[in-house]
A = this chain, B = another copy of it.
Amino acid sequence: MKEYKTEEEFLRDYDPTQFDPFSLTSDILIFSVSDGLQENYRKLNKKYFSILLVKRDTYPFKDKWCLPGGFVRINEDIEEAAERILKDETNIKDIYLEQLYTYGNPNRDPRMRVISTSYMALIDKNRLKVDVTKNASWFNVMLLEDEKRIDVTLDNGNELIKFKIKKTLKEKTTDRYKYEILENESLAFDHPLVIVSGISRLKNKLEYTDIVFNMMPTYFTLGELQQVYEVILGKKLLDPAFRRIIKDKVEKTEKMQTGGGHRPSALFRYKMFKK
């Protein structure tokens, strides 16, 4: 092996093909909250927690649903690629984007060795008009979870997607689970895993950050905010407890919301500068 005196000399002779080539993609888990159909003329809309999926029109996994994603370009940072893909698929930008996890199982793509770095994006569907083409659709998420498995149902009003995940405790000190796909008919790649671990991350962050406000409109009632927490966490919260926790994060505005068939509620907004 040749001895080099300087880094410049070494780099001039360097052969980049000596290491195995990987392809790199970025997949984005776009979360939002949507209003369901009114259950009767009186009840307020029930909220749902939803994700955006696109239908593949080429092989592999032709006609299956998958997360918006694409190949990272050779001169592009991974996060830049995620932003570009988000813009291409939904025409939205400048929204919450966070790297989640990098999936690198050698068999996760039948074509070749593809690494995928997943990102989570949060949007308020009311604030930003998403360009949902005929190949993209919002699916409401319903989870049934216990210590050993997660059953997921996705519903876009037209089509139901179901998959089942097996959970095994991987590491007890931090309660981390290994997820494996038990049943999956309709989703491409390992995207069921990306979805469940992304939801798990979101649930966690909901409890100790202000992340929820990325999914809210500028003005909202505390009832609406509480519904968003409830639908993501999958459980009911008691009003006074919820208000106590949230009260330092929001400020009451002059505006009121009437028309709900009940006492009107004050509209709040996220408080940017907390004491």
A interface residues with partner B (beta carbon < 8 Å): 4, 7, 10-11, 14, 16-17, 19-24, 59-62, 71-79, 96, 98-99, 101-102, 104-106, 110-113, 115, 117, 171-176, 205, 208-214, 270, 272
Measured between C-beta atoms, what is the minimum distance from A86 to chain B in Å?
15
Instruction: Write out the residue numbers on chain B whose beta carbons fall within 8 Å of the beta carbon of A75.
Output: 106
A112 to B79, CA, bound (A): 18
Q: Given A22-B22, A117-B104, verify A205-B77 contact (CB < 8 Å).
A: no
Inter-chain CA distance A4–B105, complex, in Å, is 26
Tell me which residues across on chain B come within 8 A of A110, comparing CB atoms. 7, 11
Copies in the assembly, this chain: 2
Distance of A85 from chain B, by nearest CB (Å): 14
- A211 interface neighbour in B98, B174, B211, Cβ under 8 Å: B174
What residues on B are CB-neighbors of A113 within 8 Å? 74
Kindly list chain B residues whose C-beta atoms are within 8 Å of the C-beta of A172.
Answer: 210, 272
- Show 26 residue pairs from A and B whose CB-CB distance is below 8 angstroms, ordered by the A residue: A7-B60, A10-B60, A10-B62, A11-B111, A14-B111, A14-B112, A20-B71, A20-B72, A20-B74, A21-B21, A22-B22, A22-B23, A22-B24, A24-B115, A74-B113, A77-B106, A78-B115, A98-B171, A98-B174, A99-B101, A115-B115, A173-B210, A174-B209, A174-B210, A175-B209, A208-B208
Most-contacted residue by chain B among A104, A214, A270, A272 (CB, 10 A): A104
Please give, as numbers and ranges, the residues of chain B lying within 8 Å of A7 by CB-CB distance: 59-62, 110
Q: Most chain-B CB neighbours within 10 Å: which of A61, A76, A113, A208?
A: A113
Name the distance in Å between A87's Cβ and chain B's nearest Cβ.
18
Contact of A102 among B78, B98, B112 (CB under 8 A): B78
Question: Chain B's nearest CB lies how many Å from the CB of A116?
Answer: 10
Given A59-B7, A96-B173, A111-B16, answer yes or no on A23-B24 (Cβ-Cβ < 8 Å). Answer: no
Alpha-carbon separation in the docked complex, A173 to B215 (Å): 11
Query: How far is A209 from B62 in the complex, measured between Cα atoms in Å?
Result: 42
State the CA gap A113–B208 with chains docked (Å).
Answer: 36
Q: Which of B21, B174, B270 contacts A22 (CB 8 A)?
A: B21
Q: Which B residue's beta carbon lies closest to that of A73?
A: B20
Bound together, the chains give a CA A106 to CA B105 distance in angstroms of 23
A16: chain B residues within 8 A (beta carbon): 23, 111-112
Given contacts A17-B21, A19-B23, 4 further A-B contacts (CB under 8 A): A7-B110, A10-B62, A20-B23, A174-B211
Q: Which chain B residues lie closer than 8 Å to A105 at the CB level?
A: 77
The residues of B that contact A77 with a CB separation of less than 8 Å are: 104-106
Whether the Cβ atoms of B205 and A174 lie closer than 8 Å is yes
